[in-house]
């Protein structure tokens, strides 16, 4: 009799777990990418390492120049404010005291230029030129130079860099 009670109790307990299993709570982790705001600073001219530098927070012109290796020996520092805070994409040209270059610039019509002509523009890569042509074929001629910001691979810094060399015809 004692065994029958124990056996019945064991069956009731097993039946309880079988009929009413524990519900497990599954916690998921959101793994979507968080967009990171970057600041691109294109520094050219009389610096040791000219180029495009990317920052993830506001910075000063002095810090940008340090990243670019500092001024070259013939740099004209008089027109620069080293404590200027940079909060958005910017293109900076450090003037030189000794070199004066007079170059005649031939403007390229971006509405009619071929791929070969586009890649001759300083700052225009093959990828950017191809993107520009694809955009032009898809949406038609550009109405304003600032419309180039809509082209894939052309950002504010690149646009400012190529503006002196382009025209709308």
Asked if residue 116 and residue 75 are part of one domain, the reply reads no
Q: State pTM to two decimals.
A: 0.42
The boundaries of the domain holding residue 76 are 39-94
| Residues 88 and 113 placed together within one structural domain of the fold | no
Residue with tokens 């019945």, as numbered in its chain: 8
Mean pLDDT taken over the chain: 84
Domain count, the chain: 2
**Can you spell out the DSSP letters for 97-121?**
SS-----PPPPEETTT--HHHHTTS
Q: Are residues 79 and 124 in the same domain?
A: no
Q: Is the dihedral of CA 69, 156, 104, 126 positive or negative?
A: positive
Please say if the pLDDT value at position 79 is more than 60. Answer: yes
pLDDT band for 134, please (50, 70, 90 cuts): very high
Residues 86 and 117 in one domain: no
| Domain harbouring 135, CATH code | 1.10.150.320
Confidence at 66, pLDDT banded by 50, 70, 90: very high
Taking only the tens place, the pLDDT of each residue in 140-161 is: 998 988 888 999 988 888 888 8
DSSP the chain: -HHHHHHHHHHHHHHHHHHSPPPPPPP----PPPP---EEEEEEESBSS-EEEEESS-EEHHHHHHHTT-B-TTB--TT--TT-EE-S-EEEEE-BSS-----PPPPEETTT--HHHHTTSTT--HHHHHHHHHHHHHH-S-SSGGGGGGSTT--HHHHHHHGGGEE--
Q: Which of 94, 118, 134 is the last residue of a domain?
A: 94
pLDDT at 102: 52
């Amino acid at each position: 009799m004692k065994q029958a009670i124990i056996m019945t109790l064991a069956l009731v307990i097993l039946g309880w777990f079988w009929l009413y299993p524990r519900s497990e709570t599954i916690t998921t982790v959101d793994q979507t990418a968080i967009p990171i705001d970057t600041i691109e600073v294109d520094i050219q001219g009389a610096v040791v390492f000219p180029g495009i530098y990317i920052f993830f927070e506001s910075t000063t012109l002095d810090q940008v120049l340090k990243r670019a290796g500092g001024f070259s020996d013939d740099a004209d520092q008089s027109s620069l404010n080293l404590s200027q805070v940079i909060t958005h994409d910017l293109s900076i040209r450090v003037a030189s005291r000794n070199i004066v270059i007079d170059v005649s610039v031939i403007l390229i019509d971006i509405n009619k230029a071929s791929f070969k002509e586009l890649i001759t523009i300083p700052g225009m890569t093959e990828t950017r030129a191809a993107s520009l042509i694809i955009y032009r074929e898809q949406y038609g001629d550009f109405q304003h130079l600032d419309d180039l910001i809509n082209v894939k691979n052309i950002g504010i810094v690149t646009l400012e860099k190529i503006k002196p060399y382009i025209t709308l015809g």
